[in-house]
Amino acid sequence: MATGPGSIRPRRVLLALLLAEFVSAVLLLDRPQPPAAPPLAADVAIAQPTTAGPTTITTQLPDGRRAEFVALGGTRSATLLSRIAAELPAAAEVVTDFWGPDWRREIVIVATGSDPQFAALAGGGADIAAATTADRIVFAPGAAAMTDESLRIVLRHELFHHAVREQTAADAPRWLTEGVADYLARPRDPAPAPAPDQGTALPTDRDLDTPGPIRSLAYDRAWRFAVYIADRYGPDRLRALYVRACGPGHPDVAAAVRDTLGADLDEVLVGWRHWPQG
């Protein structure tokens, strides 16, 4: 899946040229929200940015959340955001069904116009489709070429990160944050079979950060673990595990597993490795 870790943070130091190029966009993104927003239509159309600056449209989701879409340039950013706007209500519903309604009321989604722009605003590389920063979801220009299904997966994945960021500690186990995000994002398969070379160990941060097949298999393992927990213990227990293992002041994973699943981590891992056969 072409997506990036939800814990990517904006770079603290930007090159002077990039700062000069993007300062107007950053100032626009950080401005206060307007007092009102029209209802979200099924066919939200976002105008192509002009040389005068970024194009922004603010709308309201059916659940009352406010969504702001910002096109920063490029030939396809406006079209990409129109596609995202069409997918966003269903993505928000998926997050709420799992997490409950208590999550961010403001959603900011940015489509960058160039790879350097994406790197400057989100810290993402050329192989990353999107990243979630402290207060927005940022899409790379390459996301415009994604199929509808792939874009849907990336949006739901990043929206979950965006929704629960304030409830997620900076040192939360990334394999669990990424696995749960993929559990919400990917098509539901109650018992996905592991790839022959997938491995039986939980992924490390290094695995998740290594481009190519290593990263892809790491995300697969994290996703499969989350699906196993939801299948074996129920989605509510998966959510409880996330809150306990990833929230501020969290214990280690072994203690969080005992507290929420009533089993030792080694026992859970054995079940995961043999699932669905076991």
Q: Worst-scoring range by mean pLDDT, 176-180, 185-189, 266-270?
A: 185-189
The residues spanned by each domain of the chain are: 16-167, 174-274
Fold that domain 16-167 belongs to in CATH: Zincin-like (3.30.2010)
Question: 148 — phi, psi (to 5°)?
Answer: -60, -40
d(CA 231, CA 237): 10
Give the pLDDT confidence of 218-246 residue by residue, as tens digits.
Answer: 999 999 999 999 999 999 999 999 999 99
Which is nearest to 232 in space by CA: 269, 187, 196, 177? 269
More confident residue, 42 or 127: 127
Percent with pLDDT over 90 in the chain: 65
**pLDDT at position 41:** 39
The contacts of residue 194 (CB under 8 Å, 6+ apart) are 220, 221, 224
**Alpha-helical runs (H) found in the chain:** 16-29, 77-99, 115-122, 148-164, 174-185, 205-209, 213-233, 235-246, 253-261, 265-274
Residue 47: pLDDT band by 50, 70, 90 thresholds? low
Residue 72's pLDDT band (cuts 50, 70, 90): very high
- Report the predicted TM-score, pTM, of the whole model to 2 decimal places: 0.81
**Helix (H, G, I), strand (E, B), or coil: what is residue 177?**
helix
Q: At residue 201, does pLDDT exceed 90?
A: no
pLDDT at 2: 42
